[in-house]
Amino acid sequence: MKTRKSIPRWLRRAPWERGTASLIGLGLAMLMQPWSMEAYSYSFIVLLAGVVGYSIAVKLPEQRGIGSFSRLREKAGDEGVSRPAGPHPNPLPQAGEGVRPHRSGWHE
């Protein structure tokens, strides 16, 4: 049996995603409020910090355990995505298919 290193609690993805999403929301609220020029002037910095933080947070490892499907995916041997057999059904005609010229030329 393999021994896995436990990920430190402060390095898990979920709390960082929630925090940075909150920071993005705060930056947007600061940007759209009409009362304080000082809040408006710092809104872009707060928004940028939230976006950069979120970009980093999505690369952190997920917490494994209750509520996580990662162990089930490992047992199944795939990413848990079911794909239909055969080609993708496309309702729209491809280039050159389904378009017929009219008797007097191309019908508009």
Long-range contacts at 60-65 (CB < 8 A, ≥ 24 apart): 60/11, 60/12, 60/13, 60/16, 61/7, 61/11, 61/12, 61/13, 62/12, 62/13, 62/14, 63/7, 63/12, 63/13, 63/14, 64/4, 64/7
Tens digits of residue pLDDT in 15-57: 999 999 999 999 999 999 999 999 999 999 999 999 999 999 9
User: What does pTM read for this prediction?
Assistant: 0.55
Average pLDDT, the chain: 76
Per-residue confidence band for 67, with pLDDT thresholds at 50, 70 and 90: very low
d(CA 71, CA 97): 45
